[in-house]
Amino acid sequence: MAEHTPLFMIENLHAGIEGKEILRGVNLVIERGEIHALMGPNGSGKSTLAYVIAGHPNYEVYEGRILYKGENVLELPPDERARMGMFLAFQYPTAIPGVTMANFLRLAVNSVRKARYGEDKALTPREFRRLLREKLEMLRMDETFASRYLNEGFSGGEKKRAEILQMAMLEPEFAVLDETDSGLDIDALRTVADGVNQLFNSNMALLVITHYQRILNYIRPHYVHVMLDGKIAVSGGPELAEELEEKGYDWVKTQYAEAAS
Partner 1 sequence: MATPEVELKRLGSEYAEKYGFRDPEQYVFKARKGLDREVVEQISWIKNEPDWMREFRLKALEYFLRRPMPTWGADLSELNFDEIVYYIKPTERQGSSWDELPEHIRRTFDRLGIPEAERKFLAGVGAQYESEVVYHSLREELKRLGVIFVDMDTAVREYPDLVKQYFGTIVPPNDNKFAALNSAVWSGGSFVYVPEGVRVEVPLQAYFRINAENVGQFERTLIIVEPGAYVHYVEGCTAPIYSAASLHSAVVEIIVKEGARCRYTTIQNWSKNVYNLVTKRAAAYRDATMEWVDGNLGSKVTMKYPAVWLMEPGARGEVLSVAFAGDGQHQDAGGKMVHVAPYTSSQIISKSISKGTGRASYRGLVKVHRGAHHVRANVVCDALLLDEQSRTDTYPYMEIEEEQVSIGHEATVSKVAEEQLFYLQSRGLTEAEAMSMIVNGFIEPITKELPLEYAVELNRLIALEMEGSVG
Ligand X SMILES: Nc1ncnc2c1ncn2[C@@H]1O[C@H](COP(=O)(O)OP(=O)(O)OP(=O)(O)O)[C@@H](O)[C@H]1O
Nearer to partner 1, 57 or 118 (CB): 57
Q: How many residues bind ligand X (CB under 6 A)?
A: 11
**E strand or H helix that includes residue 228:** strand 223-228
Nearer to ligand X, 91 or 191 (CB): 91
Q: Residue 112, SS3?
A: helix
- Give the contacts of 114 (CB within 8 A, at least 6 positions apart): 121, 122
The answer to whether the beta carbons of residues 108 and 88 sit under 8 Å apart is no
Q: What is the per-residue DSSP string for 54-73?
A: HT-TTEEEEEEEEEETTEEG
How many chain residues bind Mg ion (CB under 5 A)? 3
Question: 3-class SS at 100?
Answer: strand
Rounded to the nearest angstrom, the gap between the alpha carbon of residue 4 and the centroid of all alpha carbons in its chain is 24
Phi, psi of 74 (to 5 degrees): -60, -25
Among Mg ion, ligand X, partner 1, none, the one that 97 touches (CB under a kind-dependent 5 to 8 A) is partner 1
Residues that bind partner 1 (CB under 8 A): 54-58, 77-79, 81-83, 87-88, 90, 93-94, 96-100, 103-104, 106-108, 110-112, 115, 122, 125, 149, 166, 170
Residue 220 CB, shortest distance to partner 1, in Å, is 26
Q: Under rule CB under 6 A, which residues in 6-25 are in contact with ligand X?
A: 17, 22
Minimum separation from the CB atom of position 211 to ligand X (A): 6
User: Under the criterion CB under 6 A, does residue 82 sit at the interface with ligand X?
Assistant: no
**Residue (78 or 156) nearer to partner 1, CB:** 78
Let me know if 163 is exposed, middle or buried by CB neighbors in 10 A (0-12, 13-18, 19+): buried
Q: What's the closest the beta carbon of residue 249 comes to partner 1, in angstroms?
A: 29
Please give the residue ranges that form the binding site for ligand X (CB under 6 A).
17, 22, 40, 42-48, 91
